[in-house]
Amino acid sequence: MERIKGADLSKLTTLKVGGRADLLVIPNKVEDVRESVLLSREKDVPLFILGGGSNTVFGDVKGIVLWLRRLRGMKVVSSAEGFLVEVMAGTPLSDLVILSVRENLEGIWRLTGFPATVGGAVSMNAGAFGAEMKDFLTSVTFMDWEGNVHRVRAEEIEFSYRRSPFPGIGIVLSCELFLKRSELPVREEITKIRTLRKRTQPVNLPTSGSTFKNPYPRHAGDLLERVGMKGYRSGDIAFSNIHANFLVNLGEGRFEDVVRIIEEAKRRVLEEFGIVLEEEVRIVEDSGSDGWKVL
Ligand SMILES: Cc1cc2nc3c(=O)[nH]c(=O)nc-3n(C[C@H](O)[C@H](O)[C@H](O)COP(=O)(O)OP(=O)(O)OC[C@H]3O[C@@H](n4cnc5c(N)ncnc54)[C@H](O)[C@@H]3O)c2cc1C
């Protein structure tokens, strides 16, 4: 396990914005995760769980950031119907996408093009092009905030649009998925999605993905565009010219700019449409504590 005091968090998120953490812990095994959970309890300091940092923006963090990137690996059992996959939380989601393309498996290839970990994708119930993480899960193994490990069947877990009970009830350690064999030529289908993403998303700049959830039946990007936020800039942080709901870092973007620009966007959309936009991106700063365990 590695421990870094005063770690620079900007390197750990895809928007490349961030302050410092009192302590960054990088566990190598599940026991290390338990040690951090118990330490945060004993010292009564907040603990933030970080995966790929692709939907997270940090300010300064007065507490522990637990970065799960090293808890990776998967076990695969194949049958005539498909693949049963046990995968650890820190594994890149793209490993599952690659498997699905190689073996022509259903659905999960739709989640291509974002640098998530599997744990982050479960926690956010990540989704794209009609598929969501929950569609493939058979069970999740997690550690609760007292350090106990549980394995629960997927149907017992309440998932909804970009929402799950994690990390509220604990830290996803691994999960099991069933990926059916597909009738579609997956390799061709995924190429279409990748081309579309390149055309409609700012793939060449540091970004944190969707800033706001879509307030059904409206699209956040559309509302933002209508209130003049597309391309709107505060310092080096801007809403992308390509996709109004994606924040991009044009150079030396700062946390304060992210907060300012989000507030401005929410204010305009509320004034114009009476709609309260809800953040999809996790804004994490020392004052944003939700209980003792999760920032
Ligand atoms: C270019 C780009 C495109 C994107 N496109 C999409 C898209 O199409 N669809 C979509 O849904 N998202 C998209 N995203 C957003 C993002 O990739 C997803 O939300 C993803 O699931 C976040 O995973 P992560 O590992 O990076 O999570 P992080 O950003 O590290 O964390 C996000 C949240 O999950 C929690 N978390 C992380 N790991 C765990 C764990 N093991 N146990 C418990 N909680 C955990 C964190 O505490 C935090 O609350 C995009 C992002 C980018 C940069």
121: domain CATH number is: 3.30.465.10
Structure tokens at 259: 């907060």
Weakest-pLDDT range from 40-49, 174-183, 215-224: 40-49
Domain containing 238: what range? 212-279
146 in a structural domain: yes
Strands (E), 144-234: 149-153, 171-180, 207-210, 233-234
Region of 72 please: left (phi>0), alpha (psi -120 to 50) or beta. beta
CATH assignment of the domain containing 27: 3.30.43.10
Look at residue 272 and tell me if it is in a domain.
Answer: yes
pLDDT at res. 290? 42
Assess whether the C-beta atom of 53 lies below 6 angstroms from ligand 1.
Answer: yes
Query: Is the beta carbon of 170 within 6 A of some atom in ligand 1?
Result: no
Q: Is the CB of 166 under 6 A from ligand 1?
A: yes
Six-digit token string for 222: 């559309």
256 and 159 fall within a common domain: no
> Final residue of a domain: which of 67, 95, 124?
67
**220-278 tens-digit pLDDT:** 999 999 999 999 999 999 999 999 999 999 999 999 999 999 999 999 999 999 999 99
Domain endpoint, select from 67, 96, 120: 67
Both 99 and 135 in a single domain?
yes
> Is 256 domain-assigned?
yes
On whether residue 202 sits in a domain, the answer given is no
Ligand 1 contact, 14 CB (< 6 A): yes
- In terms of domains, do 18 and 78 share one? no
- Same domain for 170 and 217? no
Same domain? For 169 and 83 the reply is: yes
Confidence of residue 295 (pLDDT cuts 50, 70, 90): very low
Q: How confident is the model at residue 133 (pLDDT cuts 50, 70, 90)?
A: very high
> Do both 36 and 107 map to the same domain?
no
Same domain, yes or no, for 124 and 220?
no
CATH code for position 267: 3.90.78.10
201 assigned to some structural domain: no
pLDDT in tens, 172-192: 999 999 999 999 999 999 999
Last residue of a domain, one of 10, 36, 67: 67
Ligand 1 binding pocket mutation candidate from 67, 124, 166, 205 (most atoms within 8 A of CB)? 124
Q: Say if 204 falls within a structural domain.
A: no
Looking at residue 7, its pLDDT comes to 96
Q: Answer yes or no: is pLDDT of 55 > 50.
A: yes
Q: What is the DSSP string of 161-176?
A: TTB-STTTS-EEEEEE
- How far, rounded to the nearest angstrom, does the alpha carbon of residue 205 sit from its chain's CA centroid? 18
Specify if 284 maps to a domain. Answer: no
Which residue has the CA at smallest separation from atom 38 of ligand 1? Answer: 120
Task: Check residue 196 and give its pLDDT.
Answer: 94
Instruction: Tell me the three-class secondary structure of 27-74, residue by residue.
Output: CCCHHHHHHHHHHHHHHCCCEEEECCCCCEEECCEEEEEEECCCCCCE
Of the candidates 76, 116, 114, the residue with the CA atom closest to the CA atom of residue 92: 116
- Are both 158 and 81 inside the same structural domain? yes
Q: What pLDDT shows up at residue 294?
A: 44
Is the same domain home to 81 and 27?
no
Helix/strand/coil (H, E, C) string of 82-99? EEEEEEECCCEHHHHHHH
pLDDT tens-digit map of 25-38: 999 999 999 999 99
Token pair of 56, please? 């997270």
Greater pLDDT, 62 or 117: 117
User: Which of 25, 49, 161, 164, when mutated, tests ligand 1's pocket best, judged by the most ligand atoms within 8 Å of its CB?
Assistant: 49
Cα 125 to middle of ligand 1, angstroms: 8
pLDDT at residue 44 greater than cutoff 60: yes
Split into its structural domains, the chain has a count of 3
CB 40 within 8 A of CB 64: yes
**Binding site membership of 172 for ligand 1 (Cβ less than 6 Å):** yes
Please give the pLDDT value at position 289: 40
Q: Is 89 in the pocket of ligand 1 (CB under 6 A)?
A: yes
The residues assigned a catalytic role are 162, 210, 280
- Determine the length of the chain: 295
Asked whether residue 263 is assigned to any structural domain, the reply reads: yes
Q: What is the pLDDT of residues 147-164, one digit of tens each?
A: 999 999 999 999 999 999
Same domain, 52 and 113: no
pLDDT value, residue 285? 83
Closest atom of ligand 1 to 50 CA is 30
Indicate if 155 and 225 belong to the same structural domain: no
pLDDT in tens, 62-107: 899 999 999 999 999 999 999 999 999 999 999 999 999 999 999 9
How close is the Cα of 80 to the center of ligand 1, in Å?
32
Ligand 1 midpoint to CA 9 (Å): 16
Residues 47 and 89 in one domain: no
